[in-house]
Amino acid sequence: MSQPDVDALMRAFREALDKASDPKDLDEIRRVHTAGRKSAMKDAFRALREVPPQERPAVAKALNETRATMEAELEAASHQIEAKALQDQLDAEWVDLTMPGVARRRGARHPLTEVEDQCMEVLRRLGFQWVDGPEVEHPYYNFDALNIPEHHPARDMQDTFWVTGGLLLRSHTTTVQARVLQQQPPLPIRIASMGRVYRNEAVDSTHVAMFHQLEGLWIDKGLTFSHLKGILSFIAHALYGEDRKTRFKPKFYPYTEPSVGVDVSCGVCGGTGCEACHDTGWVTILGAGMVHPKVFLEFGYDPREISGIAFGLGTTRMAAQWSGVVKIKSLYDQDLRVLRALHRGVA
């Protein structure tokens, strides 16, 4: 083992230190040059035995000073690297607080929810309360209690979704009205129900197998067809605007008699005819009628003493009309681009 060369040790150390760029490099330099069991500095101290005794104190002193210098320079380099890393991070994450921020995209309610909320806001002005019921329903509430006998076409497999246990997916929200009447609450009864309903039919531009309805029921003494026309006109104008014309036309529903449909003048063409109204100038928004006497008898009411008004709105169709959608299936496609565009169009 040769006599230690202090100058050579320092040169090798500084050459390595100049190339260091992160704390891991400094740890490696410390291991190789100063502190490791087999470092250059440890080898130099072991080589002191080769130095003549009279020169050994001076060489040892020089080695100690060199090691102290190395540690000082390592410490200084560590501070420099940490400062540079911090500055690089600050540069990368720098934000000009005087610049306007980037706002997150805000969510919005579905167009159908907007329509349901507006409908309920109008009905609450008339004293209606919202009630709910199951979507998987017993045939009694969906058909029998509503004057729809077993031979009625709506009970065929082609028209209704049947499930295990003889139950079905409700084909209208009138089932909720039947459940309320069964409880015979005190008069007057003013309720509204809404939600998903199901029909086993082919899907096209104007039909889907699952859609949304909102229905209202008013039971009291002395209600007449004039009350029916008045409340339907109020609802139509409150939802579509006072400037829209309305018309009544005969309809048939098993659970109302007489029954009517309500049309409003098309808001797209103003009544002249367009694709949105199928060139008729009118769009249907309501089906309604006076509650059928057989429905009252089914639930223990005397139709000679009380009468009732029932009406239903197709909220899916309304959302499509208000959004300017021709194919109502677009409302259920779960495409955020479509839903954002639809939301901007909801009245």
Task: Kindly write down the DSSP assignment for every residue of 24-56, as one continuous string.
Answer: HHHHHHIIIIISSTT-HHHHHHHGGGGS-TTTH
Please say which residue of 93, 124, 152 terminates a domain.
Answer: 93
Contact 203, 329 (CB under 8 A): yes
User: What are the helix (H) ranges across the chain?
Assistant: 6-19, 23-29, 40-46, 56-93, 111-125, 139-142, 174-183, 225-240, 293-298, 315-323, 336-345
Q: Say whether both 131 and 23 belong to one domain.
A: no
**In a 10 Å sphere around its CB, with 0-12 CB exposed, 13-18 middle and 19+ buried, how is residue 300 labelled?**
exposed
**1 occurs within a structural domain:** no
Q: Say whether both 165 and 283 belong to one domain.
A: yes
Q: What is the mean pLDDT of residues 14-19?
A: 83
Q: Say whether both 51 and 192 belong to one domain.
A: no
Q: Say whether both 177 and 314 belong to one domain.
A: yes
pTM above 0.75, yes or no: no
Q: Read off φ and ψ for residue 147, nearest 5 degrees.
A: 65, 35
**Domain of residue 142, CATH code:** 3.30.930.10
In percent, the amount of the chain with pLDDT more than 70 equals: 91
Strand-by-strand arrangement of the 167-169 sheet: 136-137, 167-169, 162-163
pLDDT score of 326 more than 80: no
Rounded CA separation 233/214 (Å):
16
* pLDDT value of position 131: 94
Helix axes 111-125, 315-323, angle to 10 degrees: 110
Q: Say whether both 18 and 137 belong to one domain.
A: no
Rounded CA separation 136/161 (Å):
10
**224 occurs within a structural domain:** yes
Q: Say whether both 38 and 136 belong to one domain.
A: no
pLDDT band at 2 (very low <50, low <70, confident <90, very high): low
Q: Say whether both 125 and 179 belong to one domain.
A: yes
Q: Say whether both 283 and 254 belong to one domain.
A: yes
**200 occurs within a structural domain:** yes
Q: What is the pLDDT of residues 178-219, one digit of tens each?
A: 999 999 999 999 999 999 999 887 776 667 888 899 999 999
Report CA-CA distances (Å) from 304 to 222, 297, 328.
10, 10, 42
Q: Say whether both 50 and 168 belong to one domain.
A: no
Q: What is the mean pLDDT of residues 136-163?
A: 86
* pLDDT value of position 1: 47
Q: How many domains does the chain have?
A: 2
Q: Say whether both 194 and 273 belong to one domain.
A: yes
pLDDT score of 154 more than 50: yes
* pLDDT value of position 342: 59
Residue 87 tokens read as 């500055």
**105 occurs within a structural domain:** no
For residue 288, give its domain range: 111-345
Contact 346, 243 (CB under 8 A): no
Q: Say whether both 131 and 80 belong to one domain.
A: no
Please say which residue of 63, 93, 123 terminates a domain.
Answer: 93
The amino acid that residue 272 corresponds to is T
Residue 293's nearest CA partner among 302, 283, 281 is 302
Report CA-CA distances (Å) from 70 to 27, 45, 106, 186, 320.
13, 15, 58, 96, 78
Q: Say whether both 240 and 338 belong to one domain.
A: yes
**103 occurs within a structural domain:** no
Q: Read off φ and ψ for residue 143, nearest 5 degrees.
A: -130, -65
Contact 213, 195 (CB under 8 A): yes
Q: What is the pLDDT of residues 86-128, one digit of tens each?
A: 888 888 888 777 877 777 777 777 888 888 999 999 999 999 9
**298 occurs within a structural domain:** yes
Please say which residue of 58, 93, 128 terminates a domain.
Answer: 93
Residue 190's nearest CA partner among 177, 178, 209 is 177
Omega into 185 within 30° of 0, i.e. cis? no
